[in-house]
Structure 1
């Protein structure tokens, strides 16, 4: 079986997949977007996204088992059509995106999401209502960023968080959203030839981490205060985003 053999890759990929699983299990929200930025420190971003996608699809099944009865169906009806359109746009634009542009895109998303969390979101006390226009727009942005780097969480949170819905209902809504989005992404990822034998083999090696990460996330969601985890994870996300931005910009300019 063809797999990546570099030990450095696995030293980054194993904690990255666990963080994604913990996030999928309902703990630490959109910090699952750390997966591609972290793994992009060792391999090209497109390869990282291809390796992670089958693992995400398995995680979605475990997440659905845990939160299958909980979702804000009205919000999903607004979000999902836009998300599918965003995935289509990403697949059509894929040929124009090289590794450095994707590094810049992923890095910018990570940095802007972190700065928004640090500087804006915590001071917003207003409560919003579900809205078709906003849901369609943010669903489209989420679908596009999810296609590029599995970073659909920030746009999704920009739409959902101001509604201040119950935490468990929020998690259930995101579980259903990502289930649809990730399985739809399998189609363009396959047609674009991103599932090489090496990528699939490496996904299979990392696959056992999926249920472990989900289990840890479900346990943490029920029992653990996530304040310290959030602080450390957002700091790591910011540093990783800055590193990817630097690498992408210097490669394009120099």
Structure 2
């Protein structure tokens, strides 16, 4: 891997998108890996991104350390652990395109129903519970391991609760920080933490930190209703992308 102009032209925007996503604008991060895959393999892109995610998690968790919902974490984490384990065991047998397609369809349907089927703000406010939390926790863990698409299931579960934006972001920060650390062992076993990949990650650390701080700054200045409307539309965009990626092998 050469750290040339092409490397930085692709990798820097990818890390900025992930940083803004980690800072609070969930959904943008799913655009990062396909962008990185333009110059490296998808598996290598994911391996390079994992240490970057962990560094960004440190920034986000510290920024929102007093703003998170404990009940949501309690309802999501047990299912997430099972989902990650299932994803690791079934990774060789399940197509990431199929999983991404399914997540994309669900995401588009959920977001459009909220946006177009009556104002999102007037929709009934839900509460965290162990039944739904366990289900979506499993989906988050599984899709994150298979297709790096754990964000949309988390949003589908948590967004209808209409938490304050900072609490919504802080809860996701803690949840995904834990999941990323859990992923370290499978990536290590797969031999993805090569000196070359770790060097690429380290080169991008400054961009990762600055872009995450920018996302945190923006979230704290966007009104709650505008924030949620933006997140719903981002969820639609991500869903469309996942559906496209899932269908592309059929026409390739």
Name the TM-score class by shorter chain. 0.7 to 0.9
TM-score by length of 2: 0.84
Please tell me whether the aligned partners of residues 100 and 243 of structure 2 are also in contact (alpha carbons under 8 angstroms).
no
Please tell me whether the aligned partners of residues 45 and 103 of structure 1 are also in contact (alpha carbons under 8 angstroms).
no
Match of 2:139 in 1: 141
Shift of residue 149, structure 1, vs aligned partner: 3.5
Q: 1:121 aligns with which of 92, 99, 114?
A: 114
- Cα distance change of structure 1 residues 218 and 229 upon mapping to structure 2, 3 Å threshold: same
Q: How does 1:91-130 map to 2 (within 5 A)?
A: 91-97=88-94, 101-106=95-100, 109-110=103-104, 112-114=106-108, 116-117=110-111, 119-122=112-115, 123=117, 125-130=123-128
Shift of residue 232, structure 1, vs aligned partner: 8.4
Q: 1:83 aligns with which of 43, 62, 80?
A: 80
Structure 1 residues not aligned, in runs of 5+: none
Shift of residue 144, structure 1, vs aligned partner: 1.2
Shift of residue 32, structure 1, vs aligned partner: 2.1
Matches of 2:202 and 2:137 in 1, distance apart? 30
With 188-197 and 61-70 compared, the bigger mean Cα shift is at 188-197
Please tell me whether the aligned partners of residues 107 and 236 of structure 2 are also in contact (alpha carbons under 8 angstroms).
no
Match of 1:62 in 2: 59
- Cα distance change of structure 1 residues 241 and 43 upon mapping to structure 2, 3 Å threshold: farther
With 202-211 and 173-182 compared, the bigger mean Cα shift is at 202-211
TM-score by length of 1: 0.83
Q: How does 1:157-196 map to 2 (within 5 A)?
A: 157-196=155-194
Match of 1:244 in 2: 245
Count of equivalent residues? 244
Shift of residue 62, structure 1, vs aligned partner: 0.5
1:79-130 superposed Cα distances (whole Å, 9 cap, x missing partner): 0111111111111112335xxx33454465346534542x222235011121
Matches of 2:134 and 2:243 in 1, distance apart? 30
1:140-167 superposed Cα distances (whole Å, 9 cap, x missing partner): 1101111224321111111111111221
With 167-176 and 31-40 compared, the bigger mean Cα shift is at 31-40
Q: How does 1:206-245 map to 2 (within 5 A)?
A: 206-224=204-222, 237=238, 240-241=241-242, 244-245=245-246
Matches of 2:105 and 2:76 in 1, distance apart? 24
- Cα distance change of structure 1 residues 199 and 246 upon mapping to structure 2, 3 Å threshold: farther
Matches of 1:241 and 1:47 in 2, distance apart? 20
